[in-house]
Chain A
Amino acid sequence: MNEREKGGVPDDALIRTTLAGDDGAFGELVERYKGRAFAVAVGIVGDGDVALDVVQDSFIKAYYKLKEFRFGSNFYTWFYRLLVNQAIDRWRKSARSMEVPFDESWLSEDASPPDSFAYPRSPEDLARDRELGDALQRAVDALPEYHRAVIVLREVDGMAYDEIARVLGCSVGTVMSRLHYARGKLKESLKSHRDR
């Protein structure tokens, strides 16, 4: 049982109920995983609207493929495989520019550069430093897609290496080397911003 299932109906039971014809049970799965799914999708595609489409399409695809789900395995690992593939597919098809501007509303009126440099640890921290946000987004966008997926699944979703390996269909060693590379690139971006 994963964290999301605690205190609620297990994923497997919701899947069985959905397969028996109750769409409401699938709605519960959507409510349970939409936040995590969005965070992963937006980490890969970069754009919020595209990420919403990716999450929506992935849930619809999951609904129609639910008969193929193997009971006993994790629903979210199975679902994330659909999600990540969908996100990577959308990323490849999109002609999105490397630079994704921040929503101006996120910059408060009294926003100003911090007196002493500290790496951002929250959305609010990052919103106050627009240049760093843009630099970080560019660094993420510049990563090869599967490296981006690995670091997002690890750092944003907190997945274990073996789970990431199952989602991406690769070895744990590959996950670790991709993570190492991606982390190095993001670190360079953060450091070069700080050293300016």
Chain B
Amino acid sequence: MDCGTALRKIIAKADGLLPREEEAELAGHLSGCPACTAEDAAISATGPALRALTGIRAMEKAPALDAMWTRVRAGIEEGRETRRRSSWIARWAWVPAAVAIAVAALLFYPAGTSRSPFHPSSFDVAVEDVESDVATVALVDKGEDLPRVIWIIEDAKT
């Protein structure tokens, strides 16, 4: 066996891919070739050396690693709280938008025009049922006699 073939087999051995029957042939070459023996020793050492390196780090951080579930649980709780907050904001974000539209409608209501018979003297913006998962937002013309709903979003799913 030449050194080039031996080197390929050394690498295959390190990768766990050398057939058992070829191991003896390689060992025969290594016993008479110091260069390939040195190569074999170095390649075979990469795995254990890397495990030793990560092992040192693991031992340095053993106490922190012991508390990993505590850290993870705290992170999960924090994530839950953040999600709860953002979902509440997403759920109710449309309410101020709806109120803003209602106010805009109020400002541009055609006062002093041919539609004046129904022109209101005062307005109410009402938001109801905000504690449940539905809400009703309405712009109400209180008027002289009976109140009149100008604009409404009723039982909107939040």
Contacts and interface: CB of A to CB of B under 8 A. Distances in A.
Interface of A: 23, 26-27, 30-31, 34-35, 38-39, 42-43, 47-49, 51-52, 55-57, 59-60, 63-64, 102-103, 105-106, 119-123, 125-127, 132-133, 136-137, 140, 151-152, 154-156, 176, 179-180, 183, 186-187, 190-191, 194
Contacts of A152: 50, 54
A56 B68 contact: yes
A129 to B, nearest CB: 10
Contact of A122 (B15, B38, B52, B58): B52
Given A30-B72, A140-B53, A186 B46 contact: yes
Interface string B54-67: 11111111001100
A156 B51 contact: yes
A53 to B, nearest CB: 9
A34 B53 contact: no
Contact of B50 (A38, A60, A156, A176): A156
Contacts, number: 146
B96 interface: no
Contacts of A64: 76, 79
Contact of A120 (B48, B68, B71, B75): B48
Contact of B68 (A55, A105, A123): A55
A33 B44 CA distance: 27
A42 B102 CA distance: 58
Interface in B1-48: 11, 14-15, 38-39, 41-48
Contacts of B56: 102-103, 106, 123, 126-127, 133
A90 to B, nearest CB: 15
A126 B53 contact: yes
Contact of B42 (A39, A63, A137, A190): A190
A48 B61 contact: yes
B75 A57 contact: yes
A136 B69 contact: no
Nearest to B52: A126
A30 B51 CA distance: 21
Given A57-B75, A63-B72, A106-B56, A38 B42 contact: no
Contact of A60 (B48, B55, B79): B79
B153 interface: no
Contact of B45 (A57, A119, A179): A119
B73 interface: yes
Nearest to B11: A180
Contacts of B73: 23, 27
A122 B49 CA distance: 7
